[in-house]
Amino acid sequence: MSSNTSSASLHILVIVASTRPGRLAPAITDWFVRATLPETADRGITVDIADLADIGLPLLDEPEHPASGHYLHQHTRAWSRRVAAADAFVIVTPEYNYGMPAVLKNAVDFLYQEWAWKPVAFVSYGNTSAGTRSVQMTKQVVTTLKMMPIGATVALRIADSIRDGQVVESTRLDEAARAMLRELTRVASVMRSLRTDTDTDAGDGVAGPVDGLSLARAHADDLAELLVLQRCCWVQEALANDTLDLQPLRETLDDLRASLSTWQVWCVRRNGRLVAAVRARDHAGTWLIGRLMVAPDQTGNGIGSWLLSYVEQQAPAGVARYDLFTGHRSTRNIELYERAGYALTTTGGTPDGSVHLTKPRQRAA
Ligand SMILES: Cc1cc2nc3c(=O)[nH]c(=O)nc-3n(C[C@H](O)[C@H](O)[C@H](O)COP(=O)(O)O)c2cc1C
């Protein structure tokens, strides 16, 4: 079991779950964020507010089950990144017809793995029941997604707690909000280690070496970030090989876009941030692997080896060997490839200063 139970840099996503014009939700959210500021600021907790009215998700329009992690639409991928980045959630929700707002259920249904092993707290509001029936219904839904509702709640009866569209602030109410946040972060700190140890399914059913990874085929809207990552990574190559004359440093966004038609490209995100990528294609029975990159601050934790192994497994049936190139002075890369079973075929380097490594495909016994 990991001992990562600190509350260092916890990230909370506050989800605003009503969208109608004239709604009370923004005033209640503002109050909650203000009331808990002494706790969040003191402890370096970051808070992101996801107002479902601004996010504007359509009714669920993804063809595949969200558990697959294959998202067709940009709006889903943006929502996925936002939710994946969170360690815990606070849902600010009204009660509609004794239940949760449809917009909240829809936003939850869009995703799957991004919610798992994270605690959730509620700020509810309504008439006689102060929104608690909405919370009860939401709890039933979120536990299906491996979220954990905490015990403490804040429930506001509109008649008692709202005047002129604003929360009637009181020490008692502010303290209730802070107590709930303390309980939420306490649970979130512990649940982080659950994600590290047991929830490393990174998409496509692949277990990643560190927490928070998701792996998916690259899409057009990954490319700008991919270009930045590529340049960062090849600066290291330029230093190691004492040359700026490297194709990955010269490529433009259009070049990357064009490469998607000849290469299969995979991107790895860690808690929403692009941290690694690789590409491959079949050439006459050889699986050409290229542009394996890991963000400089993420090297040394197994992502490169894991991604290399993954991309090998994506080779089609007719492939007999894997091939790749790297700079002749890129010793870290060469060591990684040799550990993965590759052998150098050109010890003296090729005219462009790169070396060629190859590995036969192991056939299943
Ligand atoms: C469609 C609808 C259904 C409602 N149903 C309930 C209800 O079941 N229980 C309740 O306490 N209040 C109910 N209300 C009143 C809401 O609690 C109140 O309008 C609140 O301001 C709604 O939150 P919002 O302003 O952020 O949308 C309902 C309001 C609407 C618009």
Q: Which of 164, 198, 232 is the last residue of a domain?
A: 198
Q: pLDDT tens across 176-230, in order?
A: 999 999 999 999 999 988 875 334 444 554 567 888 888 888 888 889 999 999 9
- Number of domains into which the chain is organized: 2
Distance, CA 125 to ligand 1 centroid (Å)? 8
State whether 111 and 221 are in the same domain. no
State whether 53 and 140 are in the same domain. yes
State whether 228 and 142 are in the same domain. no
Task: Return the best residue to mutate from 97, 100, 134 for the ligand 1 pocket (most ligand atoms within 8 A of CB).
Answer: 97
State whether 146 and 56 are in the same domain. yes
CA dihedral sign of residues 283, 339, 259, 316:
positive
Which ligand 1 atom sits nearest the alpha carbon of residue 131? 11
Q: pLDDT tens across 267-315, in order?
A: 998 878 899 999 999 999 999 999 999 999 998 889 999 999 999 989 9
Q: How far is CA 206 from CA 14, 27, 87, 361, in A?
A: 30, 42, 21, 20
Q: Is residue 206 in some structural domain?
A: no
Question: 70 pLDDT band (50/70/90 cuts)?
Answer: confident
Taking residue 33's Cβ as centre, other Cβ atoms within 10 Å add up to: 17
Measuring from each residue's beta carbon to the nearest atom of ligand 1, which residues come in under 6 Å?
Answer: 18, 20, 23-25, 94-98, 126-129
State whether 168 and 230 are in the same domain. no
DSSP characters over 61-128: --SS-GGG----SHHHHHHHHHHHT-SEEEEEEE-BTTB--HHHHHHHHT-SGGGTTEEEEEEEEEST
Closest C-alpha residue for ligand 1 atom 25? 23
Distance, CA 34 to ligand 1 centroid (Å)? 24
Q: Which domain holds residue 165?
A: 11-198
Among candidates 203, 361, 201, 215, which has minimal Cα distance to 276? 215
Closest C-alpha residue for ligand 1 atom 4? 96
Task: Return the best residue to mutate from 23, 95, 123 for the ligand 1 pocket (most ligand atoms within 8 A of CB).
Answer: 95
State whether 123 and 266 are in the same domain. no
